[in-house]
Every structure is written in C-alpha cells, then in structure tokens.
Amino acid sequence: MVEPVPSNASEDEPERPDEERKNPFDKPADPVDPADRGDGASAEHGHTGAGEKAQAAGGGGGRGKAKKQRSFWKELPILIGIALVLAFLIQQFLARVYMIPSGSMEETLHGCPGCTPDRILVDKLVYDFSEPEPGEVVVFRGPDSWVGGQLAEDDSNAVADFFQMVGSAFGLAPPDERDFVKRIIATGGQTVECCDDENRVLVDGKPLDEPYLHLEGARPQAPFPKVTVPEGYVWMMGDNRNNSADSRAHNEEGTASGAVPEDNIIGKARLIVLPPSRWDVISAPNPQESTANAMSAPAWQQGLPLGVGVVAAWPVLKIGRRISSAVGGAVRRGR
C-alpha cells in the first residue's frame, strides 16, 4: 500500500492576496470610514510624494539646486535701461517735456540765456480728439516761413542731431530751432489785426481780453494790418508781445504767410514741471470770450484732477499687485 506523500500545502498553493489568505472563520474587521481612508491615503501619498521630491532634489548631481539670485547691482543697469526706454516712448507718443529757450512767453513761461528756464509738459494726444482753440499755449513745428529755407533744408551732423534729440526729449536740452511755443490768438477763417484805441488786438473786429499779456517796458504793441487766417491754420503770438518773433514777424504784407498749419502743432502745454518753485498749471483762457475769467476755474482747481491722479496712483498700483498675486496663486493651485 502506497502511503500518500506529505506535502507542504502552503508551498503548493499559489500566492494569493492578503485578503484571500485570511482565515474565513476570523471575525471581519470593522469597516473603515472612506473619509479616514482618504486622509490616510492622502497622508501616505503626501509622504511618498515628499520622499520622491526629496530624492529628485537630492539626486542628479545637484542639477535641482536653486539658481543663485542675480545681484542688485547687476540688475540696476537693466532697470535703468528699461526706465529710459519707457520714458522715451512715452515722451515720443503721449507727452513730452520741453525746455523754454527764450523769454517770448514771459510771464507765463520763464526762459532766458544763462538762467534756469521752465520745463513744460506737453500733451501730444489732445488734438487727436479736439480742435485747437484760441488762448491755448502750444508747441509746434515752425513752417518754412518761420525757420527760413536754409534751416529747413539743413543737413547737419547726424550724430549731433541724435544727441540733441535725446536731450530735448528728456527736457535736458532746448528743442531744435524748428520747434516753437506760442499762444493761439485766432483760428482758420478769422481776421486778426492790431490795434484799437486801447492798443488791443482785434479778432473779427472785436477786441481781445488778454489777462496773460506782458508788455515789456510798458511799451504799446506794434500795429500790423488785417490778416485773414486760412482754414486749417492758426495765428500765433507770444505773451511777451514786444519781445516775440511770432506770426507778425513772419508774415508778408497782403498774405497770411505767418499763420501756422494745424498739422504742425505738436501738442498743448499743460504744466510747468521744473523747477519746483515754478510748478503750476498753464492757464489757457479764451481771449475772444469776455466771460473767460468768470467761467474758467482757478489754476489750483484746474490742477485737481492731476493731483488726485498722483495721489491715487500708489494705492491703485498696490491693489493691482495684490489682485495679480491672488490670480497667479489660484492658477498655480488649479494646476
């Protein structure tokens, strides 16, 4: 009789999962709350992930090491360069600072050789949305009748022109000889002449009310014959009437050659920005309106919008940064 060969059941049986190898007569374990299981799984996963991250950071021969921050002194030239480029673009397309080179606009604007001239901020966008009005102080490109044929066709040194342009763009040098600052006295279609019995300029036969007028030495204004300003042109005069080479000086009798095309206007003078002792809004009362002074707000009130803008700029910037940071954090968490 052949005796059965004893066998090791545990070795003969195939491997089973832990749950299958449990004794069927054992008391079943208490069910695990899914929330607890999720916490545990999350914790386990968190520990595993942390370990993997630590291993990844520690491995690879130090390839995961954080990059060393760039020195402030190395970043400083970059920041300065960016600031200069932005300032240059703003002054070319939005607003620009001009230096007043002469005294033709005294006492509204101060300028003289050897002194500290005013620097004014010129708005370049205003005439994209509105028409030039009498009384406004503007910077404009002189037409040929103002600058002369020789200067209009001047082929000067390109390098010198470049540095002069950069300097004038930041208000560090006077504008070139083609740029002027004057006040608009009359617009297209109007007639202008000087003077009536009270030595006042007449536009369409009516005397002007010019509170900004400065007559140096208390001398009367020099008379000039009636001129009809062509459509699309303006008649320019300086506030320092006896010391200003304006439309009168460049006009040939019987013509309107001293008038300036509206297309030559660069922008409207808004503020005196330097020196600090001269900070002020540049007034622009319409001399053709007898109620100009009564209807216009005082200079300090005209400057209120700018003051509010300056005061509000910092809080707006801070709020913008916080919103940007919050949005960026939400996007990162969503990933």
Write 197-203 long-range contacts (CB < 8 A, 24+).
201/237, 201/287, 203/134, 203/287, 203/288
Q: Quick one: which of 230, 143, 133 has its CA closest to 180?
A: 143
Which position among 124, 145, 168, 182 bears the catalytic label?
Answer: 182
Strand partners, 192: 203, 227
Number of Cβ atoms within 10 Å of the Cβ of 227: 23
DSSP 3-state of 187: strand
**Whether 229 contacts 186, CB under 8 Å:** yes
- Is 182 part of the annotated catalytic residue set? yes
The continuous run of DSSP H or E covering 71 comes out as none
Name the percent of the chain in helix, strand, coil, to the closest 5.
Answer: 40, 20, 40
Which position among 102, 104, 168, 244 bears the catalytic label?
Answer: 104
DSSP string, 217-274: GGPPPPPEEEEEPPTTEEEEE-SBGGG---TTTT--TTS-TT-EEGGGEEEEEEEEEE
- Is 244 part of the annotated catalytic residue set? no
Cα-based distances in Å from 36 to 41, 60, 81: 8, 37, 58
Residue with tokens 């000039």: 224
Strands 280-281 and 265-274 come out as antiparallel
Catalytic positions are 104, 182
